Chains A and B, each alone.
Chain A
Amino acid sequence: MSANLLAFFYLISGVLFILALRGLSSPETSRQGNFYGVVGMALAIGVTIISVGGLSYSFIYLIVVLLIGGSIGAFIAFKIPMTAMPELVAGFHSLVGLAAVFVAISAYLNPVVFNLGTPGDIKIASLIEMSLGAAIGAITFTGSIIAFLKLRGLMSGSPITFPGQHFLNLILGISLIGLITYLCINQLDSLFWTIILISFLVGVLIIIPIGGADMPVVISMLNSYSGWAAAGIGFTLENTALIITGALVGSSGAILSYIMCKGMNRSFFNVILGGWGATEEQSSSLSKEQKPVKNGNADDAAFLMKNASSVIIVPGYGMAVAQAQHALREMVDALKKNGVKVTYAIHPVAGRMPGHMNVLLAEANVPYDEVYELEEINNDFANCDVAYVIGANDVTNPVAKTDPQSPIYGMPILDVEKSKSVLFVKRSLSPGYAGIDNDLFYRDNTLMLFADAKKMTEDIIKNL
């Protein structure tokens, strides 16, 4: 196959990938979009195998490793519970990062096959591209592993900080640039390996100071990095499909990070510098003098909702932890039978990744046109009888609008407090991940339901 024809096919797969993302603009077109993505990928792999061709032995090995990887992937995809989506995505990002590192290493060791020159005499531009690709890939790899461990609960979600942390990161970042420059001058193997090792370290260091509630930003950011790593390798391999995809994924992740930061009214740098939540804990425990709280049970909650004409459900991470989405749907079905109008309100940063709550509700067969985003539904709280807050906390805290001293001041929140009564399902009065006490708990129109989200919801169903 001629190089031009090959490049043309790669361009087609690039276009198919664009269509795959385009399909996600609405749930109706999304499945077709995903199909375009699969076709694009099959095309890219197919033409690459044909173009390399000739080596029948290796071809068998190729199929074998493809099948091994493919079956592992398929197995995970079918087995994974929807609540574990954030850590799955983090885990997948780490694999893309490591794959980028491996391809860069391979290109460095054997540049001839990629037309990049000979070992020890690689083209300068290719060296820059491959070392950047390898560095970003390595950062993505270890960063995603830390994110995975935090999301999975294998590592504490609280930020890990130490003195001089940012200074150390700065030094490492500068030394990476220095090493890449030096590598271009004298092409020493040891420099290339050092770049990869330092990048692994940087990946760990930039993720450990970021707290659990900021995970949506981290995941989006790592998504973006994995794209830039792919683009870097794409330049090295002069492959259009990789360049297009890398740019798409890179900008996609960047936009998601931006949306998530905006949902928390924080700048990207503020999140990256991390350490949020660690300092607040003390002050909140001091201010926790016994304020009166109205404590309710499932019977009261069922009574309130049954007699309401409209109910808005506000799900949060607690719903995911308790796996309460199915029980919630049943409760809503029961309410609907009583003629209650029920809708769902989702805050942009509810859960641990963008769109996390939407997927869980979809899993529980909640029709997506009953689920609304913050801007769409926020005015409806004033006219609603009951707001049922299940596992959400900080995203409903009115302090964000009233107290300029609060760390979440300015964050867009769901105006839950405007509804006639608020039912707050929570295990305890403890503050949320931001470490801030929620004013809403002590309001007259708030009824606290202290229980596991799933158990409480099931109890309410019994009482309906």
Chain B
Amino acid sequence: MEIDPFIFRLSIFILSIFVGYYVVWSVTPSLHTPLMSVTNAISSVIIVGAIIAALSGESEKIFEISNLFGYAAIILAAVNIFGGFLVTQRMLAMYKKKKDKK
């Protein structure tokens, strides 16, 4: 009997929830804001779906409605990806340790 690929994806999903659970509990509370901005950036990996949607179809029909929704989604996700990672970087750069005592 063959196993439905859906079951594999479901397994990955469930296991990832557990990975997420333990990884996020180990995040130090002082970095919770960067955590939110970086999770926001990585959830924009939804852009892969948007790219497939935008670039699909025959070459003479590249601006069907479904493509346009794809392009719109790319813009939204791109704002998030660049904005999310850069603002996280900007925040993390500010966290400094105490300098040597003067």
Q: Chain A: residues with CB nearer than 8 A to chain B? A: 10, 13-14, 17-18, 20-22, 24-27, 30-31, 33-34, 37-38, 40-41, 44-45, 48-49, 52, 55, 57-59, 61-62, 65-74, 76-78, 80, 82, 85, 88-89, 92-93, 95-96, 98-100, 102-103, 105-107, 109-110, 113-114, 125, 219-220, 223, 226-227, 230-231, 233-253, 255-256, 259, 346, 348, 353-356, 358-359, 362-363, 365, 367-371, 373
Q: Given A359-B33, A362-B95, A227 and B46 touching (CB < 8 A)?
A: no
Q: Chain B: residues with CB nearer than 8 A to chain A? A: 5-6, 9, 12-14, 16-17, 19-21, 23-57, 59, 62, 64-67, 69-99
Q: How far is the CA of A149 from the CA of B87 in the complex (A)?
A: 20
The answer on a CB contact under 8 Å between A354 and B45 is no
Q: How far is the CA of A76 from the CA of B12 in the complex (A)?
A: 34
Residues of B near A107 (CB, < 8 A) are 49, 53
Residues of B near A356 (CB, < 8 A) are 33
The answer on a CB contact under 8 Å between A256 and B73 is no
The total of Cβ contacts below 8 Å across the A-B interface reads 379
What are 26 contact pairs spanning A and B, CB under 8 A?
A18-B20, A20-B42, A21-B23, A21-B24, A24-B31, A41-B44, A48-B51, A65-B75, A69-B79, A89-B37, A92-B83, A96-B40, A103-B73, A106-B67, A113-B57, A226-B40, A237-B52, A242-B46, A245-B43, A247-B13, A248-B24, A249-B20, A253-B36, A255-B24, A259-B32, A367-B99
The answer on a CB contact under 8 Å between A255 and B87 is no
Which of B39, B65, B86, B93 is in CB contact (< 8 Å) with A227? B39
Closest to A72 in B: B79
Q: How far is the CA of A10 from the CA of B52 in the complex (A)?
A: 14
Which of B51, B73, B92 is in CB contact (< 8 Å) with A52? B51
Q: Given A109-B69, A368-B30, A368-B97, A255 and B21 touching (CB < 8 A)?
A: yes
Q: How far is the CA of A31 from the CA of B70 in the complex (A)?
A: 32
The answer on a CB contact under 8 Å between A240 and B52 is no
The answer on a CB contact under 8 Å between A58 and B54 is yes
Q: How far is the CA of A430 from the CA of B24 in the complex (A)?
A: 37
